Amino acid sequence: MNIYTVSVNPAIDLFLDVPEIVFDEVLRATAVRRVWAGKGFNVSRALQRLGGKSTALGFVGGYAGMAIRAGLEAEGIATDFVTVEEETRTNVMIVDLRVGRHIKVNQTGAPVSAAAQEKFRACVRRHLKPGDLWVLTGSLAPGLSTDFYAELIELLHAGGAWAALDTSGAALRAGCAARPELVKPNVAEAYDLTGERVTSMEDACRAVAAFHAAGARRVALSMGAQGLLYSDGETLVHAAPPPVRVRTAVGAGDALLGGLVWALAQGMPSIEVARWGAATSAVYVQDDSLPFDAQPVVRQMIERLQITVLKP
């Protein structure tokens, strides 16, 4: 089984650490870090560190796009991007080391023309094989319709491939209607779909049922420190991590999705899929990354999970 990750609105995330944020003065960074940012890229990294391989697809442009391509390939992640005319966005985060707070400014993504979209569909068709698993992630770039993911899922299904979807808003609702094999909402996205807040396990179960009713075949509801509620339509399981020291929650959902996809690619049963998703995320949040050989530490975390089978 080949795995492909799709990031249609990627960015370079530029982190600048400063001793203190002071307005109307020249600030000097004590550390600089660039991250090739895109939810699909994060999933590819998680898969790689769990021992899997994937190819990253999407749209890139300009010097920033060239840097993303070269940076991912230097990490050992294969790419096959479609080039757009405008520069891929750079998001800037200025971190105040004195108080541990930050200012982040996100650019609007590079527009994707109709011609670039058709090139991307041709790229998908070139790779498309029955039984492969495609991970569709993130916000939509300017120029892409809210039905973009739904149309892509239909294309994948026509070729016999699986689709996992992680997005939000109208794109998530439209995507669910195309019956993806997996969706991975968080509680905010569940509220957006249902209009009901998730404050209890009963709320979470109703939210999962709503995503099934919307068309999703498998649902992985990410609940932060409360873990993961996973359903394949027959088995419903809650995987809760132990209390851990959280360094950052940014990217935790992508690590969770990487663990789920890795387990699905191994043909694991639903309870094991839930374990791998929850454990991969719990390991990630403690250090803002996964170790290069992540399987041993993820397996250790699996032993510490609290697993509750709610159905059947």
Q: Which residues are catalytic?
A: 254
Q: Which tokens go with 191?
A: 């509220």
Given the DSSP bridges, would you call strands 228-231 and 236-240 parallel, antiparallel or unpaired? antiparallel
User: Side chain identity at 260, as an amino acid letter?
Assistant: L
- The DSSP code for 141 is P
Distance of alpha carbon 110 from alpha carbon 231, whole angstroms? 36
Q: Which tokens go with 151?
A: 């149309």
- The DSSP code for 227 is -
Q: Which tokens go with 97?
A: 């080391």
> Are 8 and 148 contacting, i.e. CB atoms less than 8 angstroms apart?
yes
Distance of alpha carbon 25 from alpha carbon 14, whole angstroms? 20
Report which secondary-structure segment, H or E, holds 44. Answer: helix 39-49
